Amino acid sequence: MLNRFLKKLAGTAAAVALTAMALAAPGAATAKTDLTMYYPVAVGGPLTSIIDGMVADFMKENPDVNVKAIYAGNYNDARIKALAALKSGQPAQLSVMFSIDLYELIEQDAIVAFDDVVKTDADKAWLKSFYPTLMENGTTAGKTWGIPFQRSTIVMYYNKDAFRAAGLDPEKAPATWQELVAAGKKLTKADGSQWGVMIPSTGYPYWMFGALAMQNGQTLMNGAGNATYFDAPATVEALQFWKDLGEKYGVMPKGTIEWGTLRKNFLEGKTAIMWHSTGNLTKVKTNAKFDFGVAMLPASKRRGTPTGGGNFYIFKKTTPEERVAAMKLIKFMTSPERSAEWSMKTGYMGISPASYQTQKLQDYVKGFPYAAVARDQLEFATAELSTFQTGRVRKALDDAIQAALTGAKSPAEALGEAQATATRLLKPYK
C-alpha cells in the first residue's frame, strides 16, 4: 500500500519535473540577466539623461542583459539607498558611489574585489588600463574594489580680463604659492569689490585642503586607510598658508567661503581666481561673460590636487551570471569611446589614456584646451581623503579647518585635536 503510494508519488514528481523542465527550457534559451544599478549625480546639468542614454545603448548591444539604472540623489543618498537595499534583501548588483566610500563598503562586507571577478588575462589587462592615480581611491589591501567613472580634480579658474586690468599676463596663471599671493595682491581691490582668490571652505573643506597639503609635499592618510597625518608639520604649514591668504596677505575674504555660491562669485567678478572642481567647467564655459582661463593648482614644494568623484562597485550578494553581466556593463561604460563622450558632455575627465586618444576627445581638446587641464594635472594628483570611519575622520578635519580659518583656534592646535580624534577612531583598525 505504502509502496504503491510512494511509487505513484515518485511518478508524479518525475512528471512534474519533466513538465517544469519542458516549460523552463525555452525560457532558459532567452534568459535575461537583470541588473539594478544606482548612480548619483553631484553636479548640475542633465546628467541623468546622459546616463540613461548610455545604458540604453548598452542594452541594444547586449540584448541578454536588462539594466535598471536608478538615479539615487547625491553621493550620500546613493550610499544610503544602496546599503539600505542591501539590508532589505533586494540589493542592486552594481552601483556608482563616492570613491571614498570604499572602506565603509568593505567594513559592511558589501562589495566584492574586481580581482575576484576578473578571469581572463584580457580582463586583468583592462584593470590596468586606467590612470593609476584614479585607481588609488579604489584599491586597498592589495586589491581593486572600484573602477573609475565620474572623476574630477580641483583646478584653478581665473578671470583673464581681471588679470589684464591688474597688469598681469593673462596667459600666465600663478604657478607657485608666492605667485598666487603676489597676483592676489594686485587683483584685490581695496573697496572689497574684487578679491584676489577664493578657496571654498564649506561643503568639502577636506578636499581643498588635500590639495594644499599635497602641494606642500604631504598626503593626509596612508594607503591602508588606518592612519592620518593631520598634525604633520607640512600639513600645519598648509593650513597656515590657507589662513594667511585671508589674514596676513588679505587677498581672500576672512572666515569660511561658501562652496555653493562660489561659482556665482567668480562669474560676477567678485573674485579673480577660484579653486573648484573640474565638474564646473562646462557651466563656467557657458555662463562666463568674460575671458576666463583654467590652470593647474599652484605649487609650494610641488604641484598637487586630490582626485574626486565616483567609482563603479560590484556588490557581494550577486550570482556569477550577474557578476559577468555587471562586468560587461562596467566595461561598456568605461570604454574609451564612452568615457570621451561622458567627459565632453559633463566636464568630468576621461578615465583612461585611451579615452584621450579617441578622435572626438582629441578634436574637443584642440578646440577647448582647458578640457585637458585636469588630465595633465593627474600626474601630480593623489587620493582623496578616505579612511575607515571616514565620515567621522573627515568631519574632524573639516571642523579643524573651519576653526582655523575663522580664527577660533590656531592651525597647529586645531589640527592636533583632529589628529587625536582620528587616531582614537582608527585604533581598532591597526
Partner 1 sequence: MTVSRDLMRHVHGWLLLTPAAILLIAFTHYPMVATLIDSFYSKGSAIRPSRFVGLGNYDSMMADPIFWKVLVNNMWFALGTIPVSIALAISMAMLVNQTLPGRSFLRMAYFTPTILPMIAVANIWLFFYSPYIGLIDQIAGWFGLPGHNWLGDPDTVLPAIIVMTIWKEAGFFMIFYLAALQHIPPELREAARLEGATRWYFFRRVLFPLLMPTTLFVLINAVLNSFKLVDHLFVLTKGGPDNASNLLLYYIFESAFSYFDTNYAATLTVVLLALLAVMALAQFFVLDRRIHYR
Q: Which residues bind partner 1 (CB under 8 A)?
A: 76, 80, 83, 104, 107-110, 192-193, 195, 201-203, 253-258, 260-261, 264-265, 268, 270, 389, 391-392, 395, 398-400, 402-403, 405-406, 408, 428
> If you compute the radius of gyration of the chain from its CA atoms, what whole number of angstroms results?
25
What is the smallest separation between the CB atom of 393 and partner 1, expressed in angstroms? Answer: 9
What is the smallest separation between the CB atom of 133 and partner 1, expressed in angstroms? Answer: 26
What is the smallest separation between the CB atom of 272 and partner 1, expressed in angstroms? Answer: 13
Where in 133-277 does DSSP place strands (E)? 139-140, 143-144, 147-159, 195-198, 271-277
Kindly write down the DSSP assignment for every residue of 293-338, as one continuous string.
EEEPPPBSSS--EEEEEEEEEEESS--HHHHHHHHHHHHHHTSHHH
What is the smallest separation between the CB atom of 18 and partner 1, expressed in angstroms? Answer: 42
Residue 31: CA count within 13 A, CB half-sphere: 9
Residue 111 DSSP SS3: strand
Q: What is the DSSP letter of 171?
A: T
Of 110 and 333, which CB lies nearer to partner 1 in the complex structure? Answer: 110
Residue of 197, 206, 208 whose CA lies nearest to 154: 208
**Residue 152: all three cell numbers together:** 574630477
Of 235 and 389, which CB lies nearer to partner 1 in the complex structure? Answer: 389
What is the smallest separation between the CB atom of 130 and partner 1, expressed in angstroms? Answer: 28
**Residue 343: all three cell numbers together:** 567627459
Of 172 and 424, which CB lies nearer to partner 1 in the complex structure? Answer: 424
Of 92 and 198, which CB lies nearer to partner 1 in the complex structure? Answer: 198
Q: Are 183 and 174 in contact (CB under 8 A)?
A: yes
What is the smallest separation between the CB atom of 346 and partner 1, expressed in angstroms? Answer: 23
Of 97 and 110, which CB lies nearer to partner 1 in the complex structure? Answer: 110
Of 176 and 265, which CB lies nearer to partner 1 in the complex structure? Answer: 265
